[in-house]
Amino acid sequence: MKWQGRRTSRNIEDRRRSGRASMGGAGGIGGLGLVAVLVLGFVFDVDVSALLDGQGGTPSTSNTNLSQADQQMGEFVAVVLADTEEVWHSIFQNQIGEPYTAPTLVLFKGATQSRCGGATAATGPFYCPADQKAYLDTAFFTTLSQRLGAGGDFAAAYVIAHEVAHHVQNELGILGQANRIRAQVSPEESNAISVRIELQADCFSGVWANHAQQMFGSLEQGDIGEAVNAARQIGDDTLQRNAGRVVQPHTFTHGSSAQRQRWFERGLESGELSQCDTFSTDQL
């Protein structure tokens, strides 16, 4: 992805210079065990901070010096966010006839607070509709690449675009309506609605990629393959299988690998919001 030297968004709230230190101690979860816990927290929408808090370590507040890699990742995120702002402003104007209000993206390390509750590395990237902010610990990109097999800068861009897509759903009133229904139904039915929310966000991410290429010409050879691979690697069935679990579709909250890939590609090929109606179809 061609991103160096391009416009960066001002809607970045960088909290990485202060945060909670990692858990330590002789009884702590270390190495691959810690990574596994964090990955499970992200992919199954479970806050696993309780698993970390009880491991003999003591959380402390610390000032964090940003490395050159941290600074570069922050700039990358700001460029991608700027691209989403321009793309969604254009789409809202041309396809909906309404103004678009861009979200704020919060960068943090370790832990921070949101109006939806505590945000930790264990929760993974997420969007909070209560404060209209997306939250991202950029260390997740290392997990995405090294542990989930989805490397590349456009795979990371897809993650950012996916969280912004939840803001788009919020702007359109879709997210609030879907979550109200989820609160009134059984856990299995709630999971099924969650899958439709997430697949629509994947489709919106594809719509963004379509327009980003038209507007900026920023995509390079292999970029789309990186995003498609990321969508495939974080499908619920693949994640459950790789974790040594029996695949249980009724527990899915994000959709299967095939579904996530298909809906991203549908948005990418069409560039149209109207092609992303995951709530009215029986064929996910």
Q: Tens digit of pLDDT for each residue in 259-268?
A: 999 999 999 9
Cα Rg, the chain, nearest whole Å: 18
Q: Tens digit of pLDDT for each residue in 199-223?
A: 999 999 999 999 999 999 989 999 9
Joined together, the tokens standing for residue 141 give 């990109």
Could you tell me if residue 144 is inside a domain?
yes
The pLDDT of residue 172 is: 97
Q: How far apart are CA 188 and CA 116, in angstroms?
A: 22
Residue 55 has pLDDT above 60, yes or no: no
The pLDDT of residue 213 is: 95
Residue 37 has pLDDT above 60, yes or no: no
Residue 133 has pLDDT above 60, yes or no: yes
Given pLDDT bands bounded at 50, 70 and 90, which one contains residue 91? very high
Could you tell me if residue 52 is inside a domain?
no
Place of tokens 């909906």: 96
Residue 56 and residue 28 in contact, taking contact as beta carbons nearer than 8 Å: yes
The pLDDT of residue 18 is: 62
Could you tell me if residue 107 is inside a domain?
yes
Provide the total of helices (H) and of strands (E) in the chain, helices listed first: 10, 8
The CA-CA-CA angle for residues 144, 148, 151, to 5°, reads 50
Residue 42 has pLDDT above 50, yes or no: no
Least-confidence region, from 90-104, 117-131, 237-251: 117-131
Could you tell me if residue 88 is inside a domain?
yes
Could you tell me if residue 134 is inside a domain?
yes
Closest CA to 212 of 88, 106, 31: 88
Could you tell me if residue 124 is inside a domain?
yes
Which residues make Cβ contacts (< 8 Å) with residue 244, sequence separation at least 6? none
The CA-CA-CA angle for residues 213, 269, 11, to 5°, reads 45
Residue 9 and residue 105 in contact, taking contact as beta carbons nearer than 8 Å: yes
Total domains, the chain: 1
Could you tell me if residue 121 is inside a domain?
yes
The CA-CA-CA angle for residues 107, 161, 214, to 5°, reads 130
Could you tell me if residue 122 is inside a domain?
yes
Q: Give the residue numbers spanning the domain of 153.
A: 71-276
Given pLDDT bands bounded at 50, 70 and 90, which one contains residue 284? very high
Beta bridge mates, 14: 107
Residue 29 and residue 37 in contact, taking contact as beta carbons nearer than 8 Å: yes
Which residues make Cβ contacts (< 8 Å) with residue 105, sequence separation at least 6? 9, 11, 12, 13, 77, 81, 133, 134, 135, 136, 160, 163, 164
Q: Specify the higher pLDDT residue, 68 or 184.
A: 184
pTM: 0.84
Joined together, the tokens standing for residue 282 give 């029986």
Phi, psi of 270, rounded to the nearest 5 degrees: -90, -40
